Amino acid sequence: MALENKGLNWIANLVLSLFAAACLIPFALLIIASLSSESSIIQNGYTFFPSEFSLSAYDYLWGHSIELGRAYGITILITVVGTAVSLAITSALAYPLSRRDMPLRNFWTFVVFFTMLFNGGLVPTYLVYTQLFDIKNTIFGLLIPGLLMNGFNVLLVRTFFLTSIPPALIEAANIDGAGEIKTFYKIVLPLSLPIMATIGLFQAISYWNDWFNGLIYLTDSRLFGIQTILTKMITDIQFLTSSSNAAGSASHAAAELPSTSVRMAIAAIGVLPILIAYPFFQKYFVKGITIGAVK
């Protein structure tokens, strides 16, 4: 028995370390490319052993350090606030949907699900948010549209509650006189830390990675978050390096951009902070919560 478990442990380590390598190697290549000189990339392609190292990409980014610093601040604020609010309203909506005795449960689930299939598209959404709520060029433009909550997470959490929280537990709490809302945050939520950590992570990633809201709901670039700036840089470089643009004259501006290595450096500085924050979420991936003990 023990032998068999050990065997599985070995297989698990083998498979996972291979996959981990597959994830890490391209990332390492990216970092090295960001440190390579422009002409060595063009001459020899991306390689782990570039013929010439250069810090020009980071120099270029350093030249924008004030802007990037402010953008990091905005993104961190948005990510923290957004994730917290999102966890609250997502779990609050998901819990009643998971209760088998909840009236109209299927209907409301469908209401949630439907939003994942149909959307009005960019223009109508923009009209709702700018005309009705006037969030253009405010921080709410980064926080609310599209990101605050999504049907996917709601259904995920609902399914989790459905499968992992025994109804008997809730009944017991009710009999003890705990109100529904109290039961929810005193009993259900503490038992759901893994899924909360999971969607918390998803939300944090999607806030961190979002550049689209910035480009749509902001024209004032002082409010841009880090990914908006980075995406803007990448697409501007892409536009300037392509000759197919209608205004050939635009290539003026391409003058001194160390384009390839900058793109890689941009990717690197966009990813690193969230990697640093990752262990925070992992804390809650605790194995073996014994629900039985409560029963």
Site for another protein in 275-294 (CB under 8 A): 275, 278-279, 282, 285-292
Tell me: does residue 127 bind another protein (CB under 8 A): yes
* All residues at 6 or more sequence positions from 140 whose CB lies less than 8 Å from its CB, including other chains: 133
- Write down the least CB distance from residue 108 to another protein, Å: 7
Tell me: does residue 176 bind another protein (CB under 8 A): no
DSSP assignment of 6-67, as one string?
HHHHHHHHHHHHHHHHHHHHHHHHHHHHHTB-HHHHHHH-S-SS-SSB--HHHHHHHTTHHH
Binding another protein (rule: CB under 8 A), the pick from 123, 175, 176, 177 is 123
Binding another protein (rule: CB under 8 A), the pick from 12, 80, 84, 168 is 12
- Write down the least CB distance from residue 77 to another protein, Å: 20
Tell me: does residue 93 bind another protein (CB under 8 A): yes
Q: Which of residues 32-61 bind another protein (CB under 8 A)?
A: 33, 38-39, 42-47
Tell me: does residue 31 bind another protein (CB under 8 A): no
Is 90 within 8 Å of 153 (Cβ atoms)? yes
Binding another protein (rule: CB under 8 A), the pick from 84, 115, 168, 186 is 115
Tell me: does residue 90 bind another protein (CB under 8 A): yes
Q: Rounded to an integer, what distance in angstroms lies between the CA atom of residue 120 and that of residue 287?
A: 41
Binding another protein (rule: CB under 8 A), the pick from 55, 140, 239, 269 is 239
Closest CB to another protein among 46 and 77? Answer: 46
Say how many residues touch another protein, by CB under 8 A: 149
Residue 51 Cα distances to 40, 102, 168, 268, angstroms: 6, 66, 67, 21
Tell me: does residue 249 bind another protein (CB under 8 A): yes
Tell me: does residue 77 bind another protein (CB under 8 A): no
User: For residue 185, what is the enclosing H or E element?
Assistant: none
Q: Which residue has the tokens 């028995």?
A: 1
Tell me: does residue 130 bind another protein (CB under 8 A): yes
SS3 percent helix, strand, coil of the chain, rounded to 5, is 75, 0, 25
Q: Rounded to an integer, what distance in angstroms lies between the CA atom of residue 84 and that of residue 199?
A: 11
Binding another protein (rule: CB under 8 A), the pick from 112, 142, 170, 173 is 112
Closest CB to another protein among 72 and 108? Answer: 108
Q: Rounded to an integer, what distance in angstroms lies between the CA atom of residue 240 and that of residue 128?
A: 34
Closest CB to another protein among 151 and 172? Answer: 151
User: For residue 104, what is the enclosing H or E element?
Assistant: none
φ, ψ (nearest 5 deg) of residue 53: -90, 155
- Write down the least CB distance from residue 203 to another protein, Å: 13
